[in-house]
Amino acid sequence: AQKITQTQPGMFVQEKEAVTLDCTYDTSDQSYGLFWYKQPSSGEMIFLIYQGSYDEQNATEGRYSLNFQKARKSANLVISASQLGDSAMYFCAMREGDTGFQKLVFGTGTRLLVSP
């Protein structure tokens, strides 16, 4: 069975600094996708970044990058130059297979607080 583990319930970072949010996963499938979502207090899940299991390069989207270490089964999110608006819950998620079927398994999340 799939499993996503986020071991950091909360993280604090100062504005303009970089922060890494940890995510490890467990799957027996060779083909899978890894996602990070941001959930502000409004409740909406905002897609941040995607990494396919066969992608050789780490995914990047603006200030977000995904540090994908396949052998260690980790997919950490790196946020560079943190902003006050980055304060939110962050969820790592996984999809098995490559059918595009977005049945995602989510971790328990990490609450990020960015201070001035």
Partner 1 sequence: DTGVSQNPRHKITKRGQNVTFRCDPISEHNRLYWYRQTLGQGPEFLTYFQNEAQLEKSRLLSDRFSAERPKGSFSTLEIQRTEQGDSAMYLCASSPGTALDTEAFFGQGTRLTVV
Binding site for partner 1 (CB under 8 A): 4, 33, 35, 37, 42-47, 50, 52, 91, 93, 98-109
Q: Between the CA of residue 96 and those of 25, 44, 83, what are the distances in Å?
A: 11, 23, 32
Nearer to partner 1, 45 or 78 (CB): 45
Q: Is 73 left (phi over 0), alpha (psi -120 to 50) or beta?
A: left
Nearer to partner 1, 16 or 103 (CB): 103
Parallel/antiparallel/unpaired status of strands 110-115 and 10-14 = parallel
Smallest separation (angstroms) from partner 1 to the CB of 39: 9
Smallest separation (angstroms) from partner 1 to the CB of 116: 27
Nearer to partner 1, 33 or 82 (CB): 33
Smallest separation (angstroms) from partner 1 to the CB of 82: 22
Distance CA 59, CA 66 (A): 5
